[in-house]
Amino acid sequence: MYQTVLFDLDGTLLDTIEDLAAAGNHVCRENGWPVYSVEEFRAMVGHGIRNLVTQFSPEAYRDEAHVDGTLAQFSAYYGAHSMDHTRPYSGIPALLSRLRDAGICLAVCSNKADDFSRQLIEHYFPGRFSLVRGKLDGVPVKPDPAVVSAILEALHADPTTALFVGDSSVDIQTGHNAGLAACGVTWGFRSRQSLIDAGADFLSDTADALERLILGSL
């Protein structure tokens, strides 16, 4: 049984893609830029909001000063609309409750801005997580292991009994870079094959399967 589980947020706990796409396209329309489909946004997310903003900005607007302005536009709109269509994935709220009841320490490790991460977790999963950590200024984003190491230290957790759970190759790499086993969930933003190619130690197709893995009943 794992004693500590670190979860990615977008594509793992919450289906946030429609709200992220809506915010991105709002900014694109405001600036007279081309807009993108939800599927196109699905391929852009995972490396933090600044990276997302850079990707949907035209080439001529990808310098630091322009991205700063576009990021502010995006954050203002997303902050007001981040829960319009966002929903937990099937079985996730019950899974988190059962894991907490079993004494598992739960944390969130996301490349989403820290304030947005905390707001979403508090809204959708109040009381489930011991620690929520999103992107902070001066701290590198996943797959750099620094944020995972900081979380484990804050929780006084042993990496040998910790599991990283996420929906993308970035999450698998993050877990491995920090010395953790990594489980890929197949209901998120990336394909099953991409998780296999990234070297996922485990794959879970449902919340129930993930629970059995964490509690050691596979």
Yes or no: say if 149 and 177 are a contact pair by the CB < 8 Å rule: no
Predicted pLDDT at 175: 98
The CATH number of 4-15+87-215, from 3.40.50.300, 3.40.50.1000, 3.30.750.200, 3.40.50.880, is 3.40.50.1000
Query: For residue 118, what pLDDT band results from cuts at 50, 70 and 90?
Result: very high
124-150 per-position pLDDT tens digit: 999 999 999 999 988 999 999 999 999
Q: Evaluate whether 70 touches 49 at the Cβ level (below 8 Å).
A: no
Task: Give the pLDDT score at 48.
Answer: 85
Confidence of residue 218 (pLDDT cuts 50, 70, 90): very low
pLDDT at 11 over 90: yes
Cis before 58 (ω within 30): no
* Sign of CA pseudo-dihedral 136, 78, 52, 149: positive
The pLDDT tens digits of the residues spanning 96-106 come to: 999 999 999 99
Can you give the C-alpha Rg of the chain in angstroms?
A: 17
CA–CA separation, 22 vs 142, rounded Å? 24
pLDDT given for residue 47 in this prediction: 84
- Confidence band, pLDDT 50/70/90 cuts, at residue 109: very high
- pLDDT (0 to 100) of residue 46: 81
Which of 67, 87, 75 lies closest to 17, judged by CA?
87
Q: Where are the chain's structural domains? A: 4-15+87-215, 16-81
Q: Where are the alpha helices (DSSP H) in 57-179?
A: 64-81, 92-101, 114-124, 146-155, 169-177
Tens of pLDDT, residues 150-181: 999 999 999 999 999 999 999 999 999 999 99
Instruction: Give the whole-number percent of the chain exceeding pLDDT 90.
Output: 95
The residue count of the chain comes to 218
For residue 48, the SS3 value is coil
Q: Distance between CA 167 and CA 160 in Å, rounded?
A: 21
Provide CB contacts within 8 A for 71, sequence distance 6+: 49, 50, 53
